[in-house]
A and B are shown apart, each in its own frame.
Chain A
Amino acid sequence: MAPTIAVWKFSSCDGCQLSLLDCEDELLGILGRVQIAYFPEATRAEIEGPWDVSLVEGSVTTPEEAERIKEIREKSGLVVAIGACATAGGIQALRNWANVKDYASIVYAHPEYLETLETSTPHSDHIQVDLELQGCPISKVQLVDTLLAVLSGRRPNVPTEAVCTECKRRETPCVQVLGTACLGPVTQAGCGAICPSYARGCYGCFGPKETPNTVSLAKRWSEMGVSEDELLRAFRTFNGYKPAFREESARHG
């Protein structure tokens, strides 16, 4: 039997699961080798668990979500968290520095109708996650590679180096050397170093790399004239709650 794959949504924009449908060249090939057991964005059909692989998009922001991820963990062979929300809490983790009641009253006339947690957290805060794909959104290349790796029983190729290495391979001149503040030195590779190739500094949407030296980068940015407020905001975006970025933003708060 072909392995079963379930695609779950938590608090998110749906962009990472759309990445699977955006694999236009590979999609029909992949579908020929797996059974889609649950993927409501694409199909009404459902196969009951347990499932071989669960792809989990989005962060945990409600009591229901906190319970659901535990059930998914129990019924899944592999749990793969996909995207910045699932691996870091996402942009909605900005509530973690605020009072969620204040937030609710800004947006909604009747905050009492809402059921929401004080925090937005990654799945790794709730369950044992087998593999994380960082990125806002994730890389399609990494997603396809991960699915193929699971099908063939090998380790997926997920780089832990900095975006800088991708710039070097693309022969993109260093934008920071040219005077544009860039988070590339502390951000995990995987996007293909898109921003610098468009003359823009990396804004960290793939989250921190392994052992990032954020202190040194922040010092360099200060020397370039970047203000403390700007530093705080730069580290506090889509992956702002990931420990390395969280700790760095706190140094500028």
Chain B
Amino acid sequence: MADETRTIKTDYLARVEGEGGMLIRLKGNEIEEVKLNIFEPPRFFEAFLRGRYFTEAPDITARICGICPVAYQTAAINAMESICGADVGSQIKALRRLLYCGEWIESHALHIYMLHAPDFLGYPSAIEIAKDAPEVVETALRLKKIGNHVMTVIGGREIHPINVKVGGFYKAPSKAELEAMVPDLEWALETSLETVKWTNTLDFPDFEMDYEFAALDAGGVYPIEGGKRFVSNRGLDIPIDEFYEHVVEEHVKHANALQGHMKERGSFLVGPLARYALWYDLLSAEARGAAEEIGLPKAVKNPFKSILVRSVELVEACVEALRLIREYEQPAEASIEVVPKAGKACGASEAPRGTLCHRYEIDAKGIILDATITPPTAQNQPQIEADLRGFVGQFMDLPNEELTLRCEQAIRNYDPCISCATHFLTLEIERT
């Protein structure tokens, strides 16, 4: 019995974005191997960006991920504007943040209700939840739709928006077009507050990890559409341009995605848990109030409770969207002209699942010479493996089927985006 091999595996992980699996091999009570297999095929974005014009990067990199295209567009734009020394002004920045709030609302609502909640409720998918509790899925769909609508009004469409560019927007929406979204967003805010209470009724395994949380520092506001510094709860505090001096990417055999490690520090975590722990004090009174009401501490170390934090961020995105609309004044020009300048810079944004960093080098004619893209899931992948190792160590006595489900759930805690990370998952637990 002591030397019995146990394999816990999932060949094709469901309810994540992209293609990956999990393999965990146990010999007796020893964990021999924990692997997140990423078989999502490589698409070589960083290679074919070379030779393209710098203004093409937002539309091309949007195609890395259909779930968070705005994150890609925005990070690319931030990098290019940094290289060229362009400052687009406060109203264009506000419009970018509003567009990004739409993506957070859509993505968080999708993950909370349709991808993550089935794990807690014991269903294979939201489709089966809809048969027993249609109101839950109807709520999710309406929230999603409101997020998508924000993206459609500002970006032209929800998947791969067409209205954003280096320098601003092709066309700025009128104040009236934005104000027309207020009643829906007010409903979304009320529903998000209910979502926080609803997610708090779910059961969470008693499990905590000691994380290094990392997120952008957006200079006095909760980080969403950008930030000039990358900081952690363990003293990391660097300008974004130094990202690649501190985060190293490693190519391991079982993953077509590169894994991010912090130099001499190891794995770290980006995403809602990190943003919330680092920037709790910058949340709106409504979001903090919602967290306080369910007794959520300032630093959440149980990764399964990421669904609670994601709900708090859903509140935040709705509050922010309403504020941005209230304060919006249509800019006289929808964009500024950006003249290419030879140089190299990083640009980052907070995708719903965590910090996304792009680095480009362009020549004086605006041609891209080099591109490096580090998605949040690539950074989180070593931490996900560490969580699995910790979780299996603590819950080894569970029967295989339940342990497999719980391990899948531990991966989904991260809302992983494998298409992103390959530019990542099959779950498998082997016991000897």
Known A113-B251, A200-B162, A203-B162; 20 more pairs at CB < 8 Å: A11-B43, A13-B64, A14-B67, A15-B65, A18-B159, A22-B144, A22-B158, A27-B141, A31-B130, A42-B114, A61-B43, A65-B41, A102-B47, A103-B47, A103-B48, A104-B42, A107-B42, A110-B253, A233-B56, A237-B56
Chain A 65-94 interface 0/1 with B at a Cβ cutoff of 8 Å (1 = within) = 100000000000000000000000011101
A44 and B66 form a contact (CB under 8 A)? no
26 A–B contacts from the bound complex (CB under 8 Å):
A10-B41, A12-B66, A12-B419, A13-B69, A14-B17, A14-B65, A15-B69, A28-B130, A40-B14, A42-B126, A42-B127, A43-B15, A44-B14, A91-B45, A91-B60, A92-B43, A95-B44, A98-B48, A103-B44, A107-B46, A113-B256, A136-B63, A198-B171, A233-B53, A237-B56, A237-B60
Please measure, in the bound complex, the distance between the C-alpha atom of A64 and the C-alpha atom of B40, giving whole angstroms.
11
B96 on interface, CB distance cutoff 8 Å: no
Please measure, in the bound complex, the distance between the C-alpha atom of A34 and the C-alpha atom of B3, giving whole angstroms.
47
B: interface residue count bin: 35 or more
Task: List residues of chain B with CB under 8 Å of any chain A CB.
Answer: 12-19, 39, 41-48, 50, 52-53, 56, 59-60, 63-67, 69, 110, 114, 118, 124-128, 130, 134, 137-138, 141-142, 144-145, 148, 156-160, 162-163, 169-171, 250-251, 253, 256, 258, 334, 408, 419, 423
Please measure, in the bound complex, the distance between the C-alpha atom of A14 and the C-alpha atom of B421, giving whole angstroms.
13
Contact partner of B124 (CB less than 8 A), chosen from A28, A43, A203, is A43
B46 and A198 form a contact (CB under 8 A)? no
Task: List residues of chain A with CB under 8 Å of any chain B CB.
Answer: 9-19, 21-22, 24-25, 27-28, 31, 36, 40-45, 61-62, 64-65, 90-92, 94-95, 98, 100, 102-104, 106-110, 113-114, 116, 120, 136-137, 191, 194-195, 197-200, 203, 205, 230, 233, 237-238
Among A16, A62, A103, residue most surrounded by chain B Cβ atoms (within 10 Å): A103
Please measure, in the bound complex, the distance between the C-alpha atom of A98 and the C-alpha atom of B150, giving whole angstroms.
39
Please measure, in the bound complex, the distance between the C-alpha atom of A38 and the C-alpha atom of B129, giving whole angstroms.
17
**When A98-B48, A108-B42, A114-B42 are in contact, do A28 and B134 touch as well, CB less than 8 Å?**
yes
A24 and B253 form a contact (CB under 8 A)? no
Query: In the assembled complex, how far is the CB of residue A61 from the closest CB belonging to chain B, in whole angstroms?
Result: 5
A28 and B41 form a contact (CB under 8 A)? no
Query: In the assembled complex, how far is the CB of residue B116 from the closest CB belonging to chain A, in whole angstroms?
Result: 12
Please measure, in the bound complex, the distance between the C-alpha atom of A108 and the C-alpha atom of B45, giving whole angstroms.
12
B124 and A194 form a contact (CB under 8 A)? no
Among B18, B157, B169, residue most surrounded by chain A Cβ atoms (within 10 Å): B157
Residues of A within 8 A of B159 (CB): 15, 18-19, 22, 137
